[in-house]
Structure 1
Amino acid sequence: MQVTIAPTREWLTESMDNPLEILNKTKQGKKDTESLYRYLIKHGMYRPSPAARMIFQSMKEKEIWDFFTKLEKKYRNKWKGPNVPVYLLPIHENRGWFQSSMKKSGVCFKDEIYLFLKDVEDKKEYEALFAHEYHHCVRMAKLNKKDEDYTLLDSIVFEGLAEYAVKEYCGEKYVASWTTAYERETMSQYFKKWIKPNLKITRINPLHDQLLLGQKNFPKMLGYAAGYYLVEQLTKSKKAPTIGLIGKPSTYFLPDGNSTGDKKQN
């Protein structure tokens, strides 16, 4: 059986000042290490620095690898999810999308997860991060779509459903701030104006990320918030636990069930 929580403690001990050498040991890193590092930096991965070394020391003292091993087993069993490698690395505190305070951040690919961490007093923060990112992996495995086929609708549902799982399994205290950034009526208007007309665009379209992240002149974290809005509306009407929703097609979360007209989506 493969090692799920990768031995990044040993990798960091040997090569912390050479992140490319560390990433070359990962699946994605073997394809194009430098491009992967540039991408991960945007989402919070550390750059070599005294601050990163202090975080690494704290990770060792808190036995973070053992803690995440237990988390991985817990959620893989709960959600009947895939066994994918998880890389625990220090965070660069001035970068990342998920937390303005940069306590944690992460990136999920179909077959591996990168988590960027710093010392926190409440380890439930770590669980919330893991639950969100691992939820993506479980849903990817169930949908079984090609990367190039994922649409904006897929992306917003991924984020909204994963964060709703955080609320269910970790508690409302641990959900991201973007879940409550906009009033329901405001979000309804934003969805109709910007998200709904573009639900079928794919990741290669620059507008996809602009809407998802709220770049350019769009409201901050627009797509994330829209996804949470859709999931929240659905669960209120159907009283459905998130475990029963992980494998549902993205059109299932739309108010009319299929306003994109894409009946073949699965």
Structure 2
Amino acid sequence: MGVISTNEWLKKDFDRPVQMMDRLKDKFNNNINGDMIYRHLQKHGMYSPNQKTKNTWGNLTENNVWEKTQSLFTSYKKLWEGPDVPIYIFPLMSSGMWKQSIETKSGLAFKDKLFLFYDNGIAEKEMEALLIHEYHHVCRLHQLKKEQKDYTLLDTMIMEGLAERTVRKYLGMEYLAKWTKLYQEDKLRGFWSKHLKAKHTIKRTDPLHDVLLLGKKGYPYMLGYCTGYYLAKNAEKLSVKKSFIIQSEKFLTEKN
């Protein structure tokens, strides 16, 4: 599998993303249609058709991002002995429209597939950082053998923290996501005690899960993400392959 030729899809259906997503119906469970897939992907950064995102697509084509991503995926799949999954690349949503973000990239990982969204002019190291982060999710989801409905807020937080810890291992601090640097450690310790310690077992189906993870409704911005990185980042002796299988609760022993 690896990188799918979504560039060819875009040539045909750039202005009709819902129809384009109809091609993916068999990759999802339940009675899901192209419109539902597209709306879900938009929440994670997928483009809306306009001149700016069309220019982004042109730039990505000129820079051979499909080929470069395939090369990166081949390397990390071999290095981590990870699963072979299809990877779908699309332009990133226009800046200013998505959260408070000024990132050049976004992604969405599933156990059996991966979506990557790139902005205009994305550097190859940024592509590598995104692939490391999202493919780490794929490998961990693949190894944990846990039903999606059983994932807790702590599971999601640690998932994000371990993925960024892995980015740091391979590429250094410079390529960490901006949210990893929002707060000092003493502030994060306080966030854990005040906002998360009593709620970390809520399931991902609970509406409060995303509120706490993203820091909405008055909670500190990116609360769950930032605290997850704080919890996971100092596990110095943990190998990358072990980070795919370690239980989330292991990171609480010294924090509680």
Distance 2:253 2:187 in 1: 16
Q: Which residue of 2 aligns with 1:222?
A: 223
**Structure 2 residue 141 is matched with structure 1 residue 140:** yes
Unaligned residue ranges in structure 2 (runs of 5+):
none
Partner of 1:244: 242
In the TM superposition, residue 93 of structure 1 has moved relative to its aligned partner by 2.1
DSSP 3-state at the match of 1:220: coil
Q: Return closer, same or farther for 1:132/1:121 CA change in 2, 3 Å cut-off.
A: closer
CA-CA distance at 1:121 after TM superposition: 5.5
Q: CA, structure 1 residues 121+158, in 2 after alignment: closer, same or farther (shift >3 Å)?
A: closer
Deviation at 1:111, TM superposition (A): 1.3
1:115-171 deviation per Cα after TM superposition (whole angstroms, max 9, x unaligned): 111233521011101111111000000101111000001000000000111111122
What SS does the corresponding residue of 2:198 show, helix, strand or coil? helix
Q: Distance in 1 between matches of 2:44 and 2:62?
A: 25
Partner residue, 2:72 = 71
Unaligned runs of 5+ in 1: 260-266
TM-score by length of 1: 0.89
Q: Distance in 1 between matches of 2:111 and 2:246?
A: 17
State the aligned residue count.
Answer: 252
Q: Distance in 2 between matches of 1:233 and 1:103?
A: 27
Q: CA deviation at 1:192?
A: 1.2
Aligned pairs for 1:108-257 within 5 A: 108-120=109-121, 122-235=123-236, 239-256=237-254
Alignment partner of 1:23 out of 7, 21, 24: 21
Look up the equivalent residue of 1:79 and give its one-letter code. W
Q: Quote the residue 1:263 is aligned against.
A: none
Deviation at 1:234, TM superposition (A): 3.0
1:256 shift after superposition: 4.6
| CA distance in 2 between partners of 1:66 and 1:75 (Å) | 15
Q: Distance in 1 between matches of 2:151 and 2:6?
A: 30
- Comparing 86-95 and 65-74, the one that deviates more: 86-95
> How many Å apart are 1:242 and its aligned residue?
3.1
Identity %: 38
CA deviation vs aligned residue, 1:159-189 (integer Å, no higher than 9, x gap) = 0000111111122101012112111111111
Per the alignment, in what secondary structure is the counterpart of residue 2 of structure 2? Answer: coil
Q: 2: CA distance between counterparts of 1:175 and 1:256? A: 24
Residue matched to 2:7: 9
AA of the residue aligned to 2:10: L
1:162 aligns to what SS in structure 2? helix
Counterpart contact for 2:20–2:34, Cα < 8 Å: no
Deviation, 1:32, is 2.6
CA contact (8 A) 1:20 1:34 kept: yes
**Residue identity matched to 1:117:** Y
